Structure 1
Amino acid sequence: MSNAESEPPETGEAIGEKLTELAKRRGYFFRSSGSYGGVGGFYTFGPQGASLKGNVEDAWRDRFAIAEGNMEIDAPTIMPEPVFEASGHLDGFDDMLIECPDCGTSSRADHLVEDETEYEDAESLPIHEVEEIIAEYELVCPECGAGLAGVAVEEFNLMFATNIGPGDSQPGYLRPETAQGIFVEFPRLKEYARNQLPFGVTQIGRAYRNEISPRRSIIRTREFTQAELEYFVDPEADEPNLERVEDVELTLYPASEQRNDDGSEVETTIGSALEDGIIGDPWVAYFLGVAKPWYEAVGVDMDRFRFRQHLSGERAHYAADCWDAESEIDGNWIELAGFAYRGDYDLSKHADHSGDRFTVFKQYDEPQTVERATVDPDMSYLGPEFGGDAGAVAEELEALAGRDRSAFEADAVEIELEGETHEIPAEKTGFAVEEQTEAGEHVVPHVVEPSFGIDRLVYTVLHHAYREDEVDGEQRTYLELEPEVAPTFVGVFPLQNDDALEEQAREIVADLRDAGLSVTYDDSGNIGRRYRRQDEVGTPFCVTVDYETIENEETTVTVRERDTTAQKRLPVGDLAETLSAIRAGEMAFEEL
């Protein structure tokens, strides 16, 4: 039996400080370019961190791409300026910047307000209100202490600008989200989906945001990894299979509860939340139901996890409903993912700006006869009257006929072009209503978007896995990582520096690697110290080769489990199969 006596994880800033030190010492993550003083907001994932991050990405891919039958693409991280004009990032992707008049330190004004006042969601407030709060509470510069009352708060665009090509180069930007790489390729991606809705496209990759004040290690950085799914649906016909998730239990923090002084979280299920109107959109509810057990599987503590609904002030104008997955870290809630119903905003914007067709042709079961309003403008009149704008006038007349036939009943038809109103004689428009037989219609799909932050999830998994206990009278630190995501699954040690033990241990390492397991070999220091090293990086199992292994007729080794430190002897011949079954969840160590 185990000699370990586990204690519940500590709370407070101490864990964050200890975790950051452990992460640097054991190769999880550390600030980049340290030889040159480091650069704020950029981190390097070391050998352990890169492996953990890769395992989390693979687990996400398995659940949200493969298990859901969705496609995956890998788009460029740099795209030309027109993409971001269409998406709205050039004009609306801003944070609130305030600059200290004394030392010049730049800070996010909304973060200062949230850190120093009772306001929890200053990001959703207009700039003038943030300025008033800074003055009312006499907030100061976090660097030098100078007063910030009366200092202007300005909008700062978060995108990194670059140039594509030499000379008269084309302006471009590093993508602030992976989603646009999916949206702009929709006209081709729909062909791969055989023009059949619904279908999903996933992408895992880097995104870049020039954060004003990156902080809290890898929680808020300037370069980070996103895993996003853009799910395209016919809003009139497609519905999710809610039976698969209706019984999933959730902790929700609805907007209605956030607005109440004594508001609290709601414990419910997907089915009940939809029935009670807490979650407004079935597709959003479906993906919340898929995400919750996945988060639990990769190691997020469900006692410190919830879904929070966006308040109206922070929700994007095109989002009908939006929820964040949040985890509690050192007493604060951080966003792990966003689940939004984006409507047809993205595809319509790119269609308007690019001139390409961002629709899917929906075939009718039988041809239908419909009435269509058409125009055939007299260009011999429009040309002399409007010159170079004649084509634009014709297009506006066509659009008007599609949305308001009654506008053509008067003697003159009014249109608006570049802010000016013009009148065209109705007889010059060629307006007519015709019967047409159609085989189908072009549908602009709506988009449901689950968007996951991988770096924050890696930090959460490490933070929620951090443990301290006592083993045989000695303090121990270990990471209770899930086997599915642990960087190394098993460590193999020879008990002593003996040629025969080392040879047998290396043969076991080769066998376990051939079985697809992540293995490390360690023969440095006493066996207790080697156990502690593997415990601290979260290795679930350690295999020790001792003299019983090479001297007894039956070749066995000691297998030690990380969390309880319990040990069992297993035949070497069964070792790879047994450990593979444990990692796959088909067998428990206690059952051996």
Structure 2
Amino acid sequence: MSEDTAADGDAATSEKLVELAKRRGYFFQSSGAYGGVGGFYTFGPQGASLKGNLEDAWRDRFAVAEGNMEIDAPTIMHEPVFEASGHLDGFDDMLIECPECGTSSRADHLVEDNTEYEDAESLPIPEVEEVIAEYELSCPECGAGLAGVAVEDFNLMFATNIGPGDAQPGYLRPETAQGIFVEFPRLKEYARNQLPFGVTQIGRAYRNEISPRRSIIRTREFTQAELEYFIDPETDDPDLESVADVEVSLYPASEQNAADGDEIETTIGDAVEEGIISSPWVAYFLGVAKPWYEAVGVDMDRFRFRQHLSGERAHYASDCWDAESEIDGNWIEMAGFAYRGDYDLSKHEEYSDDRFTIFKQYDEPKTVERATVDPDMSYLGPEFGGDAQAVVSELEDLAARDRSAFEGDSVEIDLEGETHEIPVEKTGFAVEEQTEAGEHITPHVVEPSFGVDRLVYTVLHHAYREDEVDGEERTYLDLEPEVAPTFVGVFPLQSDDELEAQANDIVADLRAEGLSVTYDDSGNIGRRYRRQDEVGTPFCVTVDYETIEEREAQRASDSASGDEPRADETTVTVRERDTTNQKRLPVDDLAETLAAIREGDLEFESL
């Protein structure tokens, strides 16, 4: 029997997990034959399967169950997209370079690793430089002092060229979100121009990290699962009642800034009512995410939502909460839940030639006053030449924004930094009554953005167990059945033609039921159990001589009675991973029984 000595998962360390992951085919550094490249990892057979299962679980909850659509956009986009999104100017990390050995490090990470500062990312660069000098921090590679060394912004995007010759500059996307935002003019048509609606995407993103570390926790290529949910901020409200009772551990900015601040245990409903979470939409998605994380295997005793401090929020976010998991005593970000407002759509409308709004029809037509201009082009043309149309645009914007500017004899406009005066009589300015059926509004965006690689790491770390079975030490992964890479291992007890034939028949039946199955006839049965325990396979089926004897006895009985052969009544041994308990179950019902257990409709112990 099993006596678990680490039921809470504390036996796991990153070193043990990384070694297991490499040995059992979960993940390992890419291009090892060439020495490897920092920040790039390959998911092996087990890891790719676990990752795919987690992505499917995310898709089921955040796309299918929420009624959202899914797209798959390119991973390379040309420069204007990122100029509009702000990533060219505002997607930076703090770089410090050792003057002795040239090693580049993230300055905020050096501060966090060697001082009491926990969120150095939120500090301005001058303050980070002061902390480095105050604590006399040194290069992690050669030990040279870094006091007085300048900290600089380093843009994280990978640059490339699109096409030959005078190629267009492009970038590997640093987030999947922009692939959704730039397609909004078409996506809104698929949503029949009705708010709210959501668009999901699961795909690769790329960030040229200064110092990738901690295996797949911080890499240069990773997978994101993102939802961009478009709302009318004036009329659209989330279904808070459905998540109001979800219990959460929150670490708001106010507690982080307090000398004795701590996490707050509350519910989603109370957190909104008390103003801890300001956006009901962000609160809704936190309430959806919490039970989902628990369902896929994240330890809720090592899980919380932490609000971003003002200095660490992305340039597009007015508020953001991270889902964090505890790993080896440190909290890591697994997902961000950001209220992006109308930043993205407004920017893309400003920089592109398309409209990133939705027409909102009024219940009844309204009569409104509108300021309009009808400029005298016979005046503007000779006066401004090729800039005449730009002047018209400026006049239109000014009339809509501030009609009082046209009350004098002339009106001032700004054109490429120069101020110009134009006679009001030449602008054709007028205030007219118009009947309107609706208006164009720019939707706001709520974004739950999940890091899939970090979720894989967290699920493995939180599932790691060490115990003792029959006096022998054992390592196993307590993975949830719905995400485990392999659900069933099937073994013939020994090398025997009859045992192997029966085992192969069972493998075929289980796979036909849609279960992930592995067949193993190598080594003694105990070693085969240990192998499957270590990769987290929930159940093992062993075909033994009792199975064969039962089959022969049934054949003999059927032959003696002269009746039609009965359904297969033979049994096999089924072993459960966590407890190592075993039961004999009928072969004829095995596939259906195990499928029901995987779906949560049956409990193994109740069989």
The TM-score, its normalising length taken from structure 1, stands at: 0.98
Alignment-mate amino acid for residue 409 of structure 1: E
Q: State how far apart, in whole Å, the 1-side matches of 2:459 and 2:405 are.
A: 60
After TM superposition, the structure 1 stretch with the greater mean CA deviation from structure 2, 471-480 or 431-440, is: 431-440
**Which position in structure 2 is the counterpart of 1:589?**
604
**Which position in structure 2 is the counterpart of 1:61?**
59
1:422 positional shift? 2.1
Q: Note if contact 1:9-1:468 (Cα within 8 Å) is conserved in structure 2.
A: no
Q: State how far apart, in whole Å, the 1-side matches of 2:4 and 2:282 are.
A: 42
**Which position in structure 2 is the counterpart of 1:171?**
169
1:418 positional shift? 2.3
1:5 positional shift? 3.3
Q: State how far apart, in whole Å, the 1-side matches of 2:435 and 2:48 are.
A: 58
- Give the secondary-structure state (helix, strand or coil) at the position aligned to 2:193: coil
Identify unmatched segments of 5+ residues in structure 2. 555-568
Q: State how far apart, in whole Å, the 1-side matches of 2:419 and 2:287 are.
A: 50
Q: State how far apart, in whole Å, the 2-side matches of 1:433 and 1:372 are.
A: 6
**Which position in structure 2 is the counterpart of 1:555?**
570
Alignment-mate amino acid for residue 439 of structure 1: A
Q: State how far apart, in whole Å, the 2-side matches of 1:30 and 1:88 are.
A: 34
Q: Note if contact 2:9-2:461 (Cα within 8 Å) is conserved in structure 1.
A: no
- Give the secondary-structure state (helix, strand or coil) at the position aligned to 2:509: helix
1:86 positional shift? 0.5
1:560 positional shift? 0.5
Alignment of 1:508 with 2:523, yes or no, is no
Q: Note if contact 1:338-1:450 (Cα within 8 Å) is conserved in structure 2.
A: yes
- Give the secondary-structure state (helix, strand or coil) at the position aligned to 1:313: helix
Q: Which structure 2 residues correspond to residues 407-426 of structure 1 after superposition, within 5 A?
A: 407-426=405-424
Alignment-mate amino acid for residue 54 of structure 2: V
**Which position in structure 2 is the counterpart of 1:187?**
185
**Which position in structure 1 is the counterpart of 2:269?**
271
Q: Which structure 2 residues correspond to residues 330-341 of structure 1 after superposition, within 5 A?
A: 330-341=328-339
Q: Deviations over 1:551-590 (max 9, x none)?
A: 1243001110000101111000110111000000111111
Alignment-mate amino acid for residue 534 of structure 2: E
**Which position in structure 2 is the counterpart of 1:570?**
585
**Which position in structure 2 is the counterpart of 1:8?**
7
Q: State how far apart, in whole Å, the 2-side matches of 1:364 and 1:298 are.
A: 44
1:416 positional shift? 2.0
Q: Note if contact 1:9-1:466 (Cα within 8 Å) is conserved in structure 2.
A: no
**Which position in structure 2 is the counterpart of 1:153?**
151
Alignment-mate amino acid for residue 501 of structure 2: E
Q: Note if contact 2:90-2:315 (Cα within 8 Å) is conserved in structure 1.
A: no
Q: State how far apart, in whole Å, the 1-side matches of 2:375 and 2:312 are.
A: 45
- Give the secondary-structure state (helix, strand or coil) at the position aligned to 1:559: strand
Q: Which structure 2 residues correspond to residues 377-396 of structure 1 after superposition, within 5 A?
A: 377-396=375-394
Q: Note if contact 1:11-1:331 (Cα within 8 Å) is conserved in structure 2.
A: no
1:320 positional shift? 2.4
Q: Note if contact 1:411-1:426 (Cα within 8 Å) is conserved in structure 2.
A: yes
Q: Note if contact 1:228-1:452 (Cα within 8 Å) is conserved in structure 2.
A: yes
1:125 positional shift? 1.2
Q: State how far apart, in whole Å, the 1-side matches of 2:374 and 2:237 are.
A: 40
Q: State how far apart, in whole Å, the 1-side matches of 2:4 and 2:14 are.
A: 22
Q: Deviations over 1:198-226 (max 9, x none)?
A: 10000000000000000000000000000
What fraction of aligned residue pairs are identical, expressed as a percent?
A: 86
- Give the secondary-structure state (helix, strand or coil) at the position aligned to 2:13: helix
Q: Note if contact 1:492-1:505 (Cα within 8 Å) is conserved in structure 2.
A: yes
After TM superposition, the structure 1 stretch with the greater mean CA deviation from structure 2, 218-227 or 370-379, is: 370-379
| Cα RMSD, aligned residues only | 1.1
Q: Which structure 2 residues correspond to residues 362-441 of structure 1 after superposition, within 5 A?
A: 362-441=360-439
Alignment-mate amino acid for residue 569 of structure 1: R
Alignment-mate amino acid for residue 4 of structure 2: E
Q: Deviations over 1:138-159 (max 9, x none)?
A: 1000000001111111111111
**Which position in structure 1 is the counterpart of 2:131?**
133
1:321 positional shift? 1.6
**Which position in structure 1 is the counterpart of 2:557?**
none
Identify unmatched segments of 5+ residues in structure 1. none
Q: State how far apart, in whole Å, the 1-side matches of 2:209 and 2:436 are.
A: 51
Q: State how far apart, in whole Å, the 1-side matches of 2:511 and 2:175 are.
A: 36
- Give the secondary-structure state (helix, strand or coil) at the position aligned to 2:312: coil
After TM superposition, the structure 1 stretch with the greater mean CA deviation from structure 2, 322-331 or 395-404, is: 395-404
Q: Which structure 2 residues correspond to residues 251-330 of structure 1 after superposition, within 5 A?
A: 251-330=249-328
Q: State how far apart, in whole Å, the 2-side matches of 1:315 and 1:419 are.
A: 31
**Which position in structure 2 is the counterpart of 1:476?**
474
Alignment of 1:541 with 2:545, yes or no, is no
- Give the secondary-structure state (helix, strand or coil) at the position aligned to 2:482: coil
Return closer, same or farther for 1:437/1:591 CA change in 2, 3 Å cut-off.
Answer: same
Alignment-mate amino acid for residue 289 of structure 1: G
Aligned residue pair count: 590
Q: State how far apart, in whole Å, the 1-side matches of 2:445 and 2:118 are.
A: 29
Q: Which structure 2 residues correspond to residues 441-456 of structure 1 after superposition, within 5 A?
A: 441-456=439-454
Q: State how far apart, in whole Å, the 2-side matches of 1:365 and 1:92 are.
A: 41
1:447 positional shift? 0.5
Task: Choose from 476, 480, 491 the match for 1:493.
Answer: 491
Task: Choose from 567, 584, 595 the match for 1:580.
Answer: 595
Q: Note if contact 2:414-2:420 (Cα within 8 Å) is conserved in structure 1.
A: yes
1:10 positional shift? 5.9
Return closer, same or farther for 1:232/1:10 CA change in 2, 3 Å cut-off.
Answer: closer
Q: Note if contact 1:4-1:472 (Cα within 8 Å) is conserved in structure 2.
A: no
**Which position in structure 1 is the counterpart of 2:561?**
none
1:440 positional shift? 1.4
- Give the secondary-structure state (helix, strand or coil) at the position aligned to 2:298: coil
After TM superposition, the structure 1 stretch with the greater mean CA deviation from structure 2, 200-209 or 549-558, is: 549-558
Q: Note if contact 2:2-2:467 (Cα within 8 Å) is conserved in structure 1.
A: no
- Give the secondary-structure state (helix, strand or coil) at the position aligned to 2:291: helix
1:386 positional shift? 2.3
The TM-score, its normalising length taken from structure 2, stands at: 0.96
